[in-house]
A and B are shown apart, each in its own frame.
Chain A
Amino acid sequence: DAKTTQPNSMESNEEEPVHLPCNHSTISGTDYIHWYRQLPSQGPEYVIHGLTSNVNNRMASLAIAEDRKSSTLILHRATLRDAAVYYCILRALQGAQKLVFGQGTRLTINP
């Protein structure tokens, strides 16, 4: 399984944008980039995913570098409810296509 590297923790202020980075230098051409987040005492929840192009949905935006070796999850206007552990995961096109979680980034939002 291809590996991702994320900062252990980040801090931001409420109502400001947050940029969560992820490095995946060993990504293969058919690996999808997925982001999940886990709020306290809950199971992980899907945030967004992409392959090559930047993606937007109601929760966030995903910016993917041209060489696909890194990506950034963007929360446009953070709220206290966005405080969670954010996981960047590569999901292979072939094989079992399972989610392999790393340590993730613990995001703290200050009021």
Chain B
Amino acid sequence: EAGVAQSPRYKIIEKRQSVAFWCNPISGHATLYWYQQILGQGPKLLIQFQNNGVVDDSQLPKDRFSAERLKGVDSTLKIQPAKLEDSAVYLCASSLAGGPGNTIYFGEGSWLTVV
């Protein structure tokens, strides 16, 4: 079974530029998550989708971050304009449903460096 696919794996941009990350979840998984992981810290949830609807985006900095999940499958996370503190790994994850007994599967992450 194919895992959660993310691209690009690595990206270096200058501050104030924009960047987009793409995620393809495991087939059939209704719930999709985007996490931000700053070096030395645990991952922090940015946004959770159930199919193509947003369940939780309370920690998404909406002045510069946006995310969408068209047709309830693939998702993109965009940052515009980027700041130095956005340097982090952006992890996409998916699960069959949102219930607490469901396993969440993570991708390998997209590493962003803002210079």
The number of residues on chain B lying at the interface, defined by a beta carbon within 8 Å of a beta carbon of chain A, is 24
Write 24 A-B pairs (CB below 8 A) sorted by A numbering. A31-B100, A32-B100, A32-B101, A34-B100, A42-B109, A43-B4, A43-B91, A43-B108, A43-B109, A44-B43, A44-B93, A44-B106, A49-B100, A49-B103, A85-B42, A87-B42, A91-B100, A96-B48, A96-B55, A96-B98, A98-B45, A98-B56, A99-B33, A101-B43
- Report how many residues on chain A are interfacial, defined by Cβ distance under 8 Å: 25
Q: A97 to B41, Cβ gap below 8 A?
A: no
The 5 lowest CB-CB distance pairs between A and B, nearest first, are A43-B106, A101-B42, A91-B100, A32-B100, A96-B56
- Which chain A residues in 54-104 approach chain B with CB under 8 Å? 85, 87, 91-93, 96-104
Residues in A with CB closer than 8 Å to B104 are 36, 46, 99
Interface residues of B (CB under 8 A from A): 4, 33, 35, 41-45, 48, 55-56, 91, 93, 98-101, 103-109
* B-chain residues with CB within 8 Å of residue A43 when the two chains form the complex: 4, 91, 93, 106-109
Which residues of A are found within 8 Å of B105, using beta-carbon distances? Answer: 45-46
A46 and B103 within 8 A (CB): yes
Nearest-CB residue, chain A, relative to B105? A46
Q: How far is the CA of A42 from the CA of B106 in the complex (A)?
A: 9
Tell me whether B99 and A97 are in contact (CB under 8 A).
Answer: yes
Instruction: Please determine whether A98 and B48 come into contact, CB atoms closer than 8 angstroms.
Output: yes
Residue of chain A at shortest CB distance from B6? A43
Which residue of chain A is the closest to B45 with respect to CB atoms?
A: A98
- Bound Cα distance from A96 to B46, whole angstroms: 13
A92's partner among B48, B93, B100 (CB-CB below 8 A) is B100
A98 proximity list for chain B (CB < 8 A) = 33, 45, 48, 56
